[in-house]
Amino acid sequence: MMLRRLFSSAPVDKGIASVFALGKLNHVAIAVPKLDAAVERFEKGLCATVGNFQTLPEHGVKVAFVKLPNTNIELLEPYGESSPISNFFKKNADGGIHHICIEVKDINVAMQQVKKSGIRPLSAEPKIGAHGKPVVFLHPKDCNGVLVELEQE
């Protein structure tokens, strides 16, 4: 029922709803023009622990994760000519919140449910994300203007 209230007016399939439920917030992603500068700001300015630096050419980003006790902040810098977050910077030159990521137990069941509810995944199949787990992004127009990433636990 929570999914319906947040994202859609379509009814939730009771069979799937017993298996599918949104889990915990995994991270909030912030697009940054320069990853090194953002990391320094979090480490020195906010005394944060930053780790897990990765370049993900298949996603068109460089990432680093700021560790928090209850979740993470993912810092995203565009990587390559066709980075999907390059368009974000056309509207937000200084960067800003890009997406939220919520965990799900089974990404395939989650995709089945969101499609049934009229929520459009941005890819036909899950991709492997920065944590090495399957992920799918949901169209922001179907999620109250928020780009939502679902990540398998």
Q: In this predicted model, what pLDDT tens digit does every residue of 10-48 receive, in sequence order?
A: 555 555 554 568 899 999 999 999 999 999 999 999 999
Cα–Cα separations (whole angstroms), residue 18 to 2, 12, 106: 12, 10, 12
DSSP bridge partners of 78: 61
Residue pLDDT, tens place only, 90-105: 899 999 999 999 999 9
Structural domains in the chain, CATH included, are 2-152 (3.10.180.10)
Residue 3 has pLDDT above 90, yes or no: no
- For residues 12-49, b (16+ Cβ closer than 10 Å) or e, as one string? beeebeeebbbeeebbbbbbbeebeebbeebeeeeeee
Residue 108 burial by Cβ neighbours in a 10 Å radius (0-12, 13-18, 19+): middle
Tokens matching residue 104: 């799900």
pLDDT (tens digit, 9 = 90+) per residue, 92-148?
999 999 999 999 999 999 999 999 999 999 999 999 999 999 999 999 999 999 999
The Cβ of residue 150 has, within 10 Å, a number of other Cβ atoms equal to 23
